[in-house]
């Protein structure tokens, strides 16, 4: 099972590489693969939007090991990961936004 997150950015190339580097560092720390998938970008009004997805089991494993993830805001592991990743991007000087994409988005 996978969880999907939408990234909104003004600097696609830089933020894509930054996300890849952040996740590669976590993979090395956990000695596990996230199976990170990065979707195709689309542009609108100067922003670039793209989706990333990860194995849910990897996010759960991160939550068990990384206190920073468990201390992030949110009720679910997905919300916590969303806020953790946003904080990591902020620390690196990125202005990218992260949003969990629910399977129910657009149904109501």
Q: Which pTM does this prediction carry?
A: 0.88
The domain limits of the chain are 2-101
Q: List the CATH code of the domain at 2-101.
A: 3.30.70
Residue 10 DSSP class: S
Return per-residue pLDDT of the chain as tens, 108 residues. 889 999 999 999 999 999 999 999 999 999 998 889 999 999 999 999 999 999 999 999 998 888 888 888 988 888 999 999 999 999 999 999 999 986 544 444
Find the largest Cα–Cα distance for the chain.
40
The contacts found for 79-86 with CB under 8 angstroms, 24 or more apart, are 81/3, 81/5, 81/54, 82/5, 85/5, 85/19, 85/22
Tokens of 87: 């904080």
């Amino acid at each position: 099972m996978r969880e999907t997150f939408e990234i909104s950015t003004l600097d696609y190339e830089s933020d894509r590489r930054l996300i890849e580097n952040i996740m590669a560092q976590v993979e090395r720390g956990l000695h596990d693969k996230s199976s990170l998938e990065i979707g195709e970008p689309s542009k609108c009004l100067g922003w670039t939007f793209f989706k990333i997805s990860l194995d849910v089991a990897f996010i759960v494993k991160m939550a068990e090991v990384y206190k920073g993830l468990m201390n992030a805001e949110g009720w679910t592991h997905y919300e916590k990961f969303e806020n953790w990743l946003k904080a990591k991007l902020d620390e690196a000087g990125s202005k990218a936004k992260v949003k969990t994409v629910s399977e129910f988005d657009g149904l109501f």
